[in-house]
Amino acid sequence: MDLHTYEKEFFDLLKRVSHYEEAIALMHWDSRTGAPKKGSDDRAESIGQLSADVFQIQTSDRMKELIDILLAHAEELPEDTVKAAELAKKDYDHNKKIPEDEYREYVILTSKAETAWEEARAASDFSMFAPYLEKLIDFNKRFISYWGYEDHPYNALLDIFEPGVTVKVLDQLFSELKEAIIPLVKKVTASGNKPDTSFITKTFPKEKQKDLSLYFLKELGYEFDGGRLDETVHPFMTTINRGDVRVTTRYDENDFRTAIFGTIHECGHAIYEQNIDEALSGTNLSDGASMGIHESQSLFYENFIARNQHFWTAYYEKMIEASPDQFQDVKREDFVRAVNEAKPSFIRIEADELTYPLHIIIRYEIEKAIFSNEVTVEELPALWNQKYHDYLGITPPSDAKGILQDVHWAGGDFGYFPSYALGYMYAAQLKNTMLDDLPEFDQLIERGDFEPIKQWLTEKVHQHGRRKMPLDIIKDATGEELNVQYLIEYLVGKYSNLYL
Amino acid sequence: MDLHTYEKEFFDLLKRVSHYEEAIALMHWDSRTGAPKKGSDDRAESIGQLSADVFQIQTSDRMKELIDILLAHAEELPEDTVKAAELAKKDYDHNKKIPEDEYREYVILTSKAETAWEEARAASDFSMFAPYLEKLIDFNKRFISYWGYEDHPYNALLDIFEPGVTVKVLDQLFSELKEAIIPLVKKVTASGNKPDTSFITKTFPKEKQKDLSLYFLKELGYEFDGGRLDETVHPFMTTINRGDVRVTTRYDENDFRTAIFGTIHECGHAIYEQNIDEALSGTNLSDGASMGIHESQSLFYENFIARNQHFWTAYYEKMIEASPDQFQDVKREDFVRAVNEAKPSFIRIEADELTYPLHIIIRYEIEKAIFSNEVTVEELPALWNQKYHDYLGITPPSDAKGILQDVHWAGGDFGYFPSYALGYMYAAQLKNTMLDDLPEFDQLIERGDFEPIKQWLTEKVHQHGRRKMPLDIIKDATGEELNVQYLIEYLVGKYSNLYL
């Protein structure tokens, strides 16, 4: 057989995986948008079967043979083929190095741990969850020993979500960030110049929120030909296939921010997926480059566009029309200040853009300590509360509002949190470079002309899919290494202006 | 290996098929309830992949080995295992006897034929579709020669949709039916005592139709815990899994009958699927016994319950509430007469219950003539129009309103139509026996107490799934062979009463 035949067989296997993944994604979407409860057990089994099929292909001997052949002839092959083979090799190694029995045991454990976590959180009692967390950590430590790592065991986990980003990189970035933000948060907290947010929680009819969500998606460049908006308890974006990228949102009649900013956040994720080079469809390159790069796009749309005062120059009138009793006596500047309120809080997912990175840094420092054996599970709640006190000036009143708030650990997702903060840094650095190319950025937003912004992001980020590593995307787009100063400048500038 | 190990492996394979079928069913449902257009090509490929997986399992050498082992030891095995193995053998033979290349060519042909049919229907020009129909018929004739048949080649096609029903059976039933109904239709057509239907097409708000559709589903015993109602252009029922049986409907603001009777029709299908013995889940026995038995259940709910005057004693008040301008001046008796209007018409799917069987008999006679080489494709439109003239007293003004109206032939579904008429016969015979057990049938309906009716149907029909052949279900439930006289008595009684 010639090389081309192997190459075709390899891509046929990837395509087959993409078909199973389409079915899995649709089943997940359906489960969260109204599938009847009674079918959920069978549904879980069907998802299990298809996931097993994907795993089987990714770890098959034939896949390994094809990868080895292609990588041995890398210089004769197109770049995309080599990159796809490298990623397939990474999946193969990642999955194959864990003994099958051990992995099965681990999957069962995460399922039980999630139930235990739900109960522990409801009872606000960390000790109910601790034994599961202990085992999950032990498993992950063993996995790290199977996978191997450089410099720090935690790097093996970071590599899953943000390939190329290491403890060394994060220590540097986060220490600069802490140094700048902790004092800023203190000043903002102490400021007497706080926004009036009393109108935020007034009733905003659900149907009007829905109309506006659809309207903003369309304005921002989300393609409805290849997507749809639905309602869920926990909003998300999911790619069914390249021509079918769906978003969901939640309507809270007493807090319009959930739907408006939530929809625009998911819109950023979706515009990313809708603009990956179509040539990559059906391959393992047709996906976001990393969790953090994905988050940079959602945050770009949510914060740099929709929380930007110029956005509301264009659209505040729409808000007044949709909910006149709520907004007709509120000045636009006061609205903008209110939706940019910043204050220390306990719950990460409710945090504003200024304090959010501190929530992440706390989790990062704790996870790093766990995997370098510097802290026991028993000691975690105290460590958590101490860090909230030190960085945010508040002490969680309970485990539920503290260490038990996130589902990630129960699912075995250690190393995931840093990507959220990296998303902020990536976004700020991209925005800084974008201003060189589009100096009229604010005026474009005021005119509701988002096409040049989308095109810029598509050229620099979206189209590449997983062709590039996250840090390379940033370097190629901005001409320099990841630099946290752009985020710091943005936050200091914006929040000094608003509060000080 | 002992027999039990083979048995388990066999059921594991069936379970795997059921998981793929769940994904396929969900993808079809999703495609018809709002999936974005741009994703449809990828979607078709994913469905193709999963269908190929199902086919591969059903026709695998291992499947054949397992079937042979199990059937060789039938007397040592539970009845359900033997029945499942027999059905699997039927699938195996059916699929395996057609050469793979030929089957692939045929699938491509049906896809092209459906497009050609759409265009031909739009142009109302049979000659555009004729070459495709010619080829489809040739393929099916060859398939019949591969499969083999007894007595009449058309029996091989009937067996796909209504196992056990033959040309001999149908000739007898349909000739009795024609003899009774053709003169009745003539009398009804000539009657001066026609219902006033002018109010039918008055505006009935969509939201109110939706509320009522949901209400009737609940009243009739459809379980929303294991189902949901959505909107589609062509309403249908689909089973995603045993705990997830969905229905769809269409809201026509100028004809409430589409939604009200359409929803109740699909409700009958769904109640069937929701009440198959759960022990059969994940096997090939967890399905309706046949197309015709399925149709008997939808028709039972639509005609014997919802077009029954006693149903409206209970619920007409609801209709007036939902659309007062339309109904407040219409007496209940006049409403009942109007929704039971019968008159000859060209389009099968718009026909009433009296004339509907004649539409089916026409198609049956034509298909039988095709497969016994008694008619050429060229002669079909004239034959079609002649039969409409002879049986219904009307002559189709165009191919679109005549021979081109149904999609079935374009999809290669010959032998399917008779099941619709069998559904009427099954339903009428079941109803007749039900009256012995539940003599207060009409009073139950007037009280909105549908539980005893559902329980009776579940005991006699639903629970058995595919454990029994269709004619055996009828015989076991009613104590006699299929007898068309019950349908004739019902139609003569009802329409003499309404019109003569």
Rounded to whole angstroms, how far apart are CA atoms B63 and B312? 52
The verdict on A27 touching B (C-beta cutoff 8 Å) is yes
A-chain residue closest to B242, CA distance: A39
pLDDT of residue A86: 98
pLDDT of residue A494: 97
Residues of B in contact with A25 (CB under 8 A): none
Residues of the binding site of B for Zn(2+): 265, 269, 295
What are phi and psi for residue B221, nearest 5 degrees?
105, 15
Contact between A153 and A372 under an 8 Å Cβ cutoff? The reply is yes
- SS3 at position B413: coil
The verdict on B2 touching A (C-beta cutoff 8 Å) is no
- Across the interface, of A22, A36, A42, the residue whose CB is closest to B227 is A36
Is pLDDT above 80 for A353? yes
The verdict on B228 touching A (C-beta cutoff 8 Å) is yes
Contact between B322 and B498 under an 8 Å Cβ cutoff? The reply is no
Rounded to whole angstroms, how far apart are CA atoms B271 and B301? 10
User: Same domain, yes or no, for A133 and A79?
Assistant: no
Residues of B in contact with A243 (CB under 8 A): 36-42
What are phi and psi for residue A245, nearest 5 degrees?
-115, 110
Is pLDDT above 90 for B351? yes
Contact A243 B39 (CB under 8 A): yes
User: Same domain, yes or no, for B69 and B186?
Assistant: no
Does residue A101 form part of some domain? Answer: no
User: Same domain, yes or no, for B351 and B310?
Assistant: yes
The arithmetic mean of pLDDT across residues B289-313, rounded, is 98
Give the pLDDT confidence of A58-105 residue by residue, as tens digits: 999 999 999 999 999 999 999 999 999 999 999 999 999 999 899 989
Interface test with A, best of B244, B248, B286 (most A CBs within 10 A): B244
- Neighbour count for residue A334 (Cβ, 10 Å): 15
Does residue A102 form part of some domain? Answer: no
Residues of B in contact with A56 (CB under 8 A): none
User: Same domain, yes or no, for B375 and B425?
Assistant: yes
Query: Final residue of a domain: which of B60, B79, B96?
Result: B96
Residues of B in contact with A240 (CB under 8 A): 35, 39, 43
Contact A224 B30 (CB under 8 A): no
Residues of A in contact with B41 (CB under 8 A): 243
User: Same domain, yes or no, for A187 and A92?
Assistant: no
Residues belonging to chain B: 500
Closest CA to A286 of A327, A245, A254: A245
Annotated active-site residue in A266, A302, A353, A367: A266
pLDDT of residue A138: 98
User: Same domain, yes or no, for B75 and B138?
Assistant: no
Query: Final residue of a domain: which of B96, B111, B132?
Result: B96
Rounded to whole angstroms, how far apart are CA atoms A24 and A55? 13
Contact A225 B36 (CB under 8 A): yes
User: Same domain, yes or no, for B127 and B256?
Assistant: yes
Is pLDDT above 90 for B206? yes
Does residue A106 form part of some domain? Answer: no
Identify whether A102 is a catalytic site residue. Answer: no
Residue B183 is encoded by which pair of tokens? Answer: 């003169």
- Across the interface, of B15, B49, B240, the residue whose CB is closest to A19 is B49
Rounded to whole angstroms, how far apart are CA atoms B464 and B146? 31
pLDDT band at B312 (very low <50, low <70, confident <90, very high): very high
Residue B242 is encoded by which pair of tokens? Answer: 């045993």
In total, the C-beta contacts within 8 angstroms joining chain A to chain B are 116
- Nearest 5°: CA angle at B84, between B286 and B63? 115
- Across the interface, of A15, A39, A281, the residue whose CB is closest to B244 is A39
Rounded to whole angstroms, how far apart are CA atoms B440 and B434? 10
Contact A46 B35 (CB under 8 A): no
pLDDT of residue B270: 98
The secondary element (H helix, E strand) that includes residue A237 is strand A237-241
Give the HSE-up count for residue B54: Cα atoms under 13 Å, Cβ half-sphere. 20
Contact B240 A20 (CB under 8 A): no
Contact A241 B39 (CB under 8 A): yes
The verdict on A32 touching B (C-beta cutoff 8 Å) is no
- SS3 at position A277: coil
Residues of the binding site of B: 265, 269, 295
User: Same domain, yes or no, for A446 and A493?
Assistant: yes
Interface test with B, best of A18, A40, A41, A45 (most B CBs within 10 A): A45
- Across the interface, of B23, B224, B241, the residue whose CB is closest to A50 is B23
Does residue B481 form part of some domain? Answer: yes
Contact A40 B243 (CB under 8 A): yes
Annotated active-site residue in B162, B266, B353, B367: B266
Tell me how far CA of residue B177 lies from CA of B101, B128, B471, B486, in angstroms. Answer: 42, 34, 18, 10
Contact A241 B282 (CB under 8 A): no
- Mean per-residue pLDDT of chain A: 97
B-chain residue closest to A46, CA distance: B19
User: Same domain, yes or no, for B161 and B85?
Assistant: no
Query: Minimal Cα–Cα distance from A454 to chain B, Å?
Result: 20
DSSP state of A468: S
Rounded to whole angstroms, how far apart are CA atoms A376 and B485? 81
Rounded to whole angstroms, how far apart are CA atoms B127 and B131? 7
Interface test with B, best of A16, A22, A245, A247 (most B CBs within 10 A): A22
Rounded to whole angstroms, how far apart are CA atoms B129 and B112? 10
Which residues touch B452 (CB under 8 Å, ≥6 apart)? B438, B444
The verdict on A243 touching B (C-beta cutoff 8 Å) is yes
The arithmetic mean of pLDDT across residues B381-402, rounded, is 98
B-chain residue closest to A26, CA distance: B27
Residues of A in contact with B42 (CB under 8 A): 22, 241-244, 281-282
Rounded to whole angstroms, how far apart are CA atoms A273 and A262? 17
Percent of chain A with pLDDT over 70: 100
Does residue A193 form part of some domain? Answer: yes
- Nearest 5°: CA angle at B499, between B497 and B500? 75
The arithmetic mean of pLDDT across residues B434-451, rounded, is 98
Interface test with B, best of A14, A26, A247 (most B CBs within 10 A): A26
Rounded to whole angstroms, how far apart are CA atoms A83 and A285? 8
Residues of A in contact with B19 (CB under 8 A): 45-46, 49-50
pLDDT of residue A151: 97
Residue B196 is encoded by which pair of tokens? Answer: 């006033």
Percent of chain B with pLDDT over 90: 98
Residues of B in contact with A280 (CB under 8 A): none
Rounded to whole angstroms, how far apart are CA atoms A395 and A384? 9
B-chain residue closest to A18, CA distance: B46
pLDDT of residue A75: 97
Give the pLDDT confidence of B44-87 residue by residue, as tens digits: 999 999 999 999 999 999 999 999 999 999 999 999 999 999 99
Model ipTM over 0.90 = yes
Query: Final residue of a domain: which of B96, B131, B152?
Result: B96
pLDDT of residue B118: 94
Percent of chain B with pLDDT over 70: 100
Give the pLDDT confidence of B156-187 residue by residue, as tens digits: 999 999 999 999 999 999 999 999 999 999 99
User: Same domain, yes or no, for A172 and A222?
Assistant: yes
Residues of A in contact with B20 (CB under 8 A): 46, 49
Contact B46 A241 (CB under 8 A): yes
Contact between A445 and A304 under an 8 Å Cβ cutoff? The reply is no
The verdict on A224 touching B (C-beta cutoff 8 Å) is yes
pLDDT of residue A100: 87
Sequence-ordered strand ranges (E) for B356-485: none
Does residue B101 form part of some domain? Answer: no
Residue with tokens 């949510």: A302
Rounded to whole angstroms, how far apart are CA atoms A68 and A90? 12
pLDDT of residue B329: 96
CA torsion angle for A466, A472, A477, A478 (degrees, to 10)?
160
Give the pLDDT confidence of A145-193 residue by residue, as tens digits: 999 999 999 999 999 999 999 999 999 999 999 999 999 999 999 999 9
pLDDT of residue B247: 98
Does residue B117 form part of some domain? Answer: no
Query: How many separate domains does chain B show?
Result: 2
Q: What share of chain B is helix, strand, coil (3-state, %, to 5)?
A: 70, 5, 30
Closest CA to B414 of B101, B171, B156: B156
B-chain residue closest to A39, CA distance: B243
The verdict on B33 touching A (C-beta cutoff 8 Å) is no
Is pLDDT above 90 for B1? no
User: Which residues 277-316 of B are in CB contact (within 8 Å) with A?
Assistant: 281-282
B-chain residue closest to A241, CA distance: B39
Does residue B110 form part of some domain? Answer: no
pLDDT of residue B498: 95
Rounded to whole angstroms, how far apart are CA atoms B268 and B307? 13
Residues belonging to chain A: 500
Contact B243 A282 (CB under 8 A): no
User: Which residues 185-204 of B are in CB contact (within 8 Å) with A?
Assistant: none
Rounded to whole angstroms, how far apart are CA atoms B81 and B66? 11
Which residues touch B138 (CB under 8 Å, ≥6 apart)? none
Which residues touch A470 (CB under 8 Å, ≥6 apart)? A162, A163, A164, A165, A289, A290, A292, A293, A422, A426
Judge residue A82's burial from the number of C-beta atoms within 10 Å of its C-beta, 0-12 exposed, 13-18 middle, 19 or more buried: middle
Residues of A in contact with B247 (CB under 8 A): none
User: Which residues 38-77 of B are in CB contact (within 8 Å) with A?
Assistant: 38-43, 45-46, 49-50
DSSP state of B230: E
Residues of A in contact with B243 (CB under 8 A): 36-42
User: Same domain, yes or no, for A85 and A130?
Assistant: no
- Mean per-residue pLDDT of chain B: 97
- Neighbour count for residue A64 (Cβ, 10 Å): 16
What are phi and psi for residue B431, nearest 5 degrees?
-60, -40
pLDDT band at B100 (very low <50, low <70, confident <90, very high): confident
Domain range enclosing A13: 3-96
Interface test with A, best of B16, B18, B46 (most A CBs within 10 A): B46
Q: Tell me, what CATH number does A157's domain have?
A: 1.10.1370.30
Give the pLDDT confidence of A237-295 residue by residue, as tens digits: 999 999 999 999 999 999 999 999 999 999 999 999 999 999 999 999 999 999 999 99
User: Same domain, yes or no, for A129 and A37?
Assistant: no
